[in-house]
Structures are given as structure tokens and as C-alpha cells.
Structure 1
Amino acid sequence: MQQYAILTLIRHAETTGNLNRLLQGVTDSPVTVFGQAQIDALARTWSTTRTVTAQGAADDVKFVKEAVVSKLDLPPPTLIVCSPIGRARKTAEAVHRACTSTEQQSAGISEDAIAEGSRATLASDLHSKPGLPLVIDPGLKEKDFGWKESTRGGVHVAGFPKGHGNGESRTDFAARVYKVGLEWLNAASVLGFSPSSEADPTSVPHIVLVSHGMWISTFLSAHPPTTITQAMGQPTYLPFAANTGMFSLKVHPRTPEAVTTRPVTELFKANDIRHLEHVKRQKGGIGRGAFDSKQTKLSSFFAKPAKEEQEASPTKKRKM
């Protein structure tokens, strides 16, 4: 029987709205060039959590998973869930691709509506099926700031979408995060209670939630960890999540019926950004712009020499 499950929270990559210090909320803005570099670094690190699938004897066909040594010190994810807002979804899809090896079939992206109270059941159903699913959960959306969306100091910043209405109150947002967060904690706890499969006795259920900075900090306030383990390079307090920062909790198991109280949790990663160690912002402000797949390198901002100039060589024969 499993001793625990893991719940990992990841904040989306940097956007132009983040750089302009805007209240983004439910409106979106493009990922910056630097933000794309963050996503690439995050994906490279998560790719080390892939599983290798090997077929057993012909008469008794079984599939045995062998986890690749992970740079994250985390088991492979068994379920990835993300906010439907573009910046979070783009980050989650990169992690999903990185964790799906050629031997492991992806279970695809699910955008079906999630009914309140159904997240534990959904996680259990998906856990029993092959492949790595990516589920879109509207409950992971950032706070709706209404007319304050895309503002700084109460003033709308030109070039960004305008918000409308009063948005979501602080109380309503906190209540939503509490309910949705408790459901995913319960889902992890129930998976941790489930007997491990005969074919894969060492796997640990691992749910990854890709969301937003305020959502994550509100979750950690609403569901404070029972204990915090001091890990190398990690602070003793709970900081606001950096872009692509990760928080990981061990969620201890309990029976599906015992869901009246919050599960016992242990936080062992707090705003882990070690994957960004060698990611540097390009000089000259280039990294501040919106990411464009046609301009991924510094050299792409300079015109290429003409074909005649490229072919010119002092060793070529002179014309007679």
C-alpha cells in the first residue's frame, strides 16, 4: 500500500503583463521571450521524470515502468491539471509533452466540465487508465479583478485587454480556492490510500497543478502544510511563487470515506526554481518582448548577409 501521494503546484511562465506589473487575473497576455526560456528549462527538467515501458514475457504480457532518475527528486506525474487561461495552459502543455516519452502513450487533453466534488473520483478513474492525462480545470483560474484587469495603480495600461464588471470578491475567490484545493488534496490522499498495482509496486501517485501566483499563495494559506521539511536551497517560510516556481507536498493517505478533515501534508519544496539556474534574460531588452517562434535567438534580430556576400571567398578564382 502506498505511504503517500504527491501534489505539486507550478506557477505559469513570465508574461508581458507580469513585466508591466499589471493585475492580469482572468485576462491573458503573451509569454515573453524570457518566459519561453523558463518554459523550455522547466520542460527539460521535467523530461527527466519520464517512464520507460518494457514488455514482459509473451505468455504473460505485462508492462513494467522504470522511472528515469529525476533531477527534480520527484516521481513521474500521473495526472497534470491546469487553469484554462493561456499562460498556465501553455506552461502545462510543455510539462505534459516533456513527461510523455515515445514509449508512454499520452492520454490527451480533457476539457470536459468538472462538477463540484468530483475531482477525487476523476483522479481515481484516470489513475486506473494508461497514459498521462492533462485536464483543464476552471477552478484553478486566477482571481477575476473585473474592471481592474490590466491595470497598474488603478489605471489601465494601453495595449492590454480591459476588464469589465466588479469581478470576483476576495471572499468568493478565497472560498473557491479553498473548495477546489481541498478536492485536489482529497484526490491525492485517496490515491495514496489505493493499493499499488502488481505491475508497478514502487510508483507514487503524483498530481501536478499548473496555476497562478495568487491562486497558489491563497491555497497555501487556506491549507497550510502540517509540517515543512527544510530542503537544501529552500526557505523556511512560504514565499510568493516565482514564474515557473514549484511547491511540492506529500499528502498522506486516508480512506475515501474520511474526507471531513484536511489531509496531513508535508511541504518539501517551496518555490523551487533551480531549473532556472542557467536561464538568463537577453540583454538589450529583447527578453522583455512577447515570444515569437520566428525570433527565438538573438541572431534573428539581425539581417542575414546577402547570398552573394555569403558565397564570397578569397579562395575563389577571379574572373578573367
Structure 2
Amino acid sequence: MNTRIYLVRHAEAQGNVNRTFQGHSDCPVTERGMRQLDCLAERFRTVRFDALYSSPLLRARQTAEEVNRYHGLELQIDPGLIEINGGELEGMHWNEIPERFPQQQHDWDVAPQNYCAPGGDRMIDVYERITAAIDRIVRANSGKIIAVVSHGCAIRNYLCFANGWGIEQLRNIMWEENTAVSCIDYDEDFRPHIVYQSDAGHLPDELRTLARQSWWKTTITEEATK
């Protein structure tokens, strides 16, 4: 029997609205984020899963609790699911970064595989951490269905891996809406096979976060939008 993961991005938090580098900053979801979570909970109402994991950050734990609204499973925290550590960029508005850290902004936009946050994570750290964490979770739950809640940058790295790509193709992965869900099956050798990717069909247009923003359009390839 194959193993399946539903990989979920957390609901909208304040940094998503204020356009600050959230990273490890531990902030709760917004009012609109809570409404997103109502939609997410309904999406998972009739979806069976056997185990539930989350990043330790509050916005992810709040999201996991709502995935679990109708299921009552134990929430397991895995530090490997945490978001990128922004180091000196934590809490900084994205409009400030190009002037103060031009190389980091350039790499984030056009060469994310080379990105290194001053005093924080390299992008390769995130790629390796999230792939190791999910591999560990899958192997510990072989043959089961698992819900996993993580973060935008971390999930983007994992989807790059799950597509069979090295980190040098990270820019080919689309950014996700808050509460977007990806479904991934794993064969008997624990190799990932994507069933669907970054689906936010449970959200009405007025609750979508990226629909109100345009920054992400400069950080992906044209191919990623197709």
C-alpha cells in the first residue's frame, strides 16, 4: 500500500499582509486567515488521514488544528518542517531589502538556489531540511495517509524535490496561496509522485492572498505560470 501526504501551507499571517520577512518570526494568522481556515477545515472534513504533523511555528500549528477540526488526531510537531530562517532580515519590510541587502534580493528573485540569509539559512539548508523531514515522516508512517503543515518557502523547496528536480530549478516552482494543498503519493521505495500540486480551490477569490499581490511574479519563471 502506498503512503500519501497532504502537504498544506499555513493560513495568512501578518507578514503575508504587511510584506515583511516572516521566516522564524512566530506570529498568529490574521482575521482573513481564520476565514481561510474555515474553508480548509471543510475541505478536510471528509478526507481520511491517520497522522498529523506541523512546523513548530504558531501560524502552522493554528492551521494544523483546523485541518484536524473534524478528526481529533494527536498533533505531532516536527522542527524539520519550519520555515527559512531570515537572520538579519527577520521582520524587515521587503521594500527595504533591495537597498540594504541587494545581493540577497537579487538571489531571492532570480537565483534562489544561491540565496543565503545573513545570519540565517542558506536556501540549500531549507531544501535539505524539508526533504529529510518529510522522508522521515513518510518512513515512520508507511502505508498511511498523513497531513503535514508547513510554510511557503519550505514547501516550495519540497515540491521542487518531489518534481524530481535539484534546487537549481527552484525558480520553476510556483508560489502557493495560503492554505494551498498538495497531494503526494510515495511508492514502496518511498519515492514521491505528485497527484496534484498547490491547489487552493477551497478558497473563494476574496480570501486569496496572492491574488492581491504581484511580488511573486518576478520570482518565478514564465514556465512556472503555465
Determine if the TM-score, normalized by the shorter chain, exceeds 0.5. Answer: yes
**Number of the residue aligned with 2:203:** 276
**Number of the residue aligned with 1:79:** 51
TM-score of the two chains, using structure 1 as the length reference = 0.52
Q: Is the 2:160–2:173 contact (alpha carbons within 8 Å) kept by the matching residues of 1?
A: no
Deviation string, structure 1 residues 5-60 (Cα, Å, up to 9, x no partner):
211110000011101122100102232211110001111221123xxxxxxxxxxx
Q: Which entry has the higher C-alpha Rg, 1 or 2?
A: 1
| 1:134 lines up with 2:134 in the alignment | no
**Number of the residue aligned with 2:129:** 176
> Which of 83, 87, 94 is the equivalent residue of 1:146?
87
Matched-pair identity in %: 32
**Number of the residue aligned with 2:181:** 246
How many equivalent residue pairs?
Answer: 183
What 5-or-longer segments of structure 2 have no aligned partner?
A: 98-117, 166-171, 208-226
Distance in structure 2 (CA, Å) of the matches to 1:11 and 1:225: 20
**Number of the residue aligned with 2:35:** 37
| 1:13 lines up with 2:4 in the alignment | no
Distance in structure 2 (CA, Å) of the matches to 1:253 and 1:133: 26
Matched residue SS, 2:158: helix
User: What is the one-letter code of the residue matched to 1:12?
Assistant: H
Distance in structure 2 (CA, Å) of the matches to 1:265 and 1:30: 31
The residue correspondences of 1:299-318 to structure 2 (distance < 5 A) are none
Distance 1:172 1:270, change over 3 A: closer
Deviation string, structure 1 residues 141-192 (Cα, Å, up to 9, x no partner):
1011111001123738xxxxxxxx712223333322232232234345xx22
Distance in structure 1 (CA, Å) of the matches to 2:28 and 2:37: 13
The residue correspondences of 1:1-320 to structure 2 (distance < 5 A) are 2=1, 4-49=2-47, 76-100=48-72, 132-153=73-94, 155=96, 166-188=119-141, 191-192=142-143, 205-224=144-163, 238-254=173-189, 263-277=190-204, 280-281=206-207
Distance in structure 2 (CA, Å) of the matches to 1:134 and 1:80: 5
User: What is the one-letter code of the residue matched to 1:182?
Assistant: D
User: What is the one-letter code of the residue matched to 1:83?
Assistant: S
CA RMSD of aligned residues (A): 2.5
Matched residue SS, 1:275: coil
Distance in structure 1 (CA, Å) of the matches to 2:138 and 2:174: 20
Q: Is the 2:21–2:90 contact (alpha carbons within 8 Å) kept by the matching residues of 1?
A: yes
Q: Is the 1:148–1:154 contact (alpha carbons within 8 Å) kept by the matching residues of 2?
A: no
User: What is the one-letter code of the residue matched to 1:272?
Assistant: D
1:94 offset after TM fit, Å? 1.3
Distance in structure 2 (CA, Å) of the matches to 1:264 and 1:169: 25
